[in-house]
Every structure is written in C-alpha cells, then in structure tokens.
Amino acid sequence: MEQNFKVAVNKEMEFRFTKEQLDSLDLTKNSKTDFHVLKESRSFKATIQKSDFLNKTYSVKINSNIYEVNISNDLDLLIEDMGLSLAAAHVVNDIKAPMPGLILDVQVKEGDEVKEGDYLLVLEAMKMENTLTAPRDGVVKSVGVEKGQTVDKGQLLIEME
C-alpha cells in the first residue's frame, strides 16, 4: 500500500506527497536539525527550529525564510476525511485520584493560578509518592482534599476553572 502525506505550510499552502516522492529528494543531513536540499539544480539550507512531534508541527527555516509546517500521514488523512479529530482538545477540569492512597501534601489552594506542569499535590500509593501536576494553565476552583486524608480511586481531588 502506498503511503501518502499531506503537508500544510503556513496554513496557506497544501501539498500531497507519496513516500516514494519524499524518498527521491536529494537531501543531505548535516546534523540533527540541519539539512542541505537540492531541487532543480538549486541549493537550499533547511534548519528545523522548533518541533512538536506529537502534533506533527515544525518550524523550518529555509535559507532565510521561516515556515510553519504541519505533516499528516494516511491515518491523519483518514480521520480528517471521516470528520473526526484526534487533536480535539479535551479540557480537563477535574483532577481525580488515579489510585487509592494517602494525601501527603497539597500545594495549591482555591483561587491559585497554575501553569501546565505545576505541582498540585502529592499522593502516596503502594509506598510510592506520586506528584500530580496541572494538566493545563488555569485557576484552582476548589480543593476537595487535605493533607493526611485517604482517598479512593477516581475521587475528585481538585477542580479547575
């Protein structure tokens, strides 16, 4: 089966390629992020400046121009054709206990502003300390537990706005 890719550049231009077309590029890798490309007897220096592998988005500098590139593979194209989206944002408002345990520390209170990755609380379960972090930027709406409290799996710990 032939692999196909859709490449969107700056959300303005769209190109479709087969794996064979991509494999036939005259491309030399100079380092992890630097490439040299020959196309129709013209030389191009390409540098990957930023990459988000999970979302398949890249910021690429070619010669002196910067392009925002999004790459979709066959599965992504099929999902798009079906009108679905894997990237549909699911906003997490409730932080629930992933397992039963003991709350060792609560590091936020109602009204605190948190950034994605900030520590919220420490849960001890199976003799291991698990630090639960903020899944997104937001404001703590309520804290339903306190230090020393035991919790059950799935119990609401923190609610975010």
- Encode pLDDT of 74-114 as tens digits: 888 777 777 665 555 567 789 999 899 999 999 999 999 99
Which of the listed residues 51, 81, 111 is the one where a domain comes to its end? Answer: 81
Whether residues 47 and 113 share a domain: the answer is no
Q: Higher pLDDT residue, 7 or 126?
A: 7
Integer Cα distance of 12 and 39 in angstroms: 22
Percent pLDDT > 90 in the chain is 55
- Domain end, chosen from 33, 51, 81, is at 81
Q: Are residues 67 and 101 in the same domain?
A: no
Total structural domains in the chain? 2
Residues 6 or more apart whose CB falls under 8 angstroms from that of 51 comprise 57, 58, 59
For the entire predicted model, the pTM comes to 0.48
Q: What is the DSSP letter of 19?
A: H
Of the three residues 81, 116, 145, the one that is the final residue of a domain is: 81
| Together in a domain, 101 and 148 | yes
State the residue range of the domain holding 105.
Answer: 94-160
User: Angle at the Cα of 81 (from 78 to 83), degrees rounded to 5?
Assistant: 115
> What is the reported pLDDT for 148?
95
What letter represents residue 130's amino acid? N
Residue 54: exposure state from Cβ atoms within 10 A (0-12, 13-18, ≥19): exposed
Q: Indicate whether 77 belongs to any domain.
A: yes
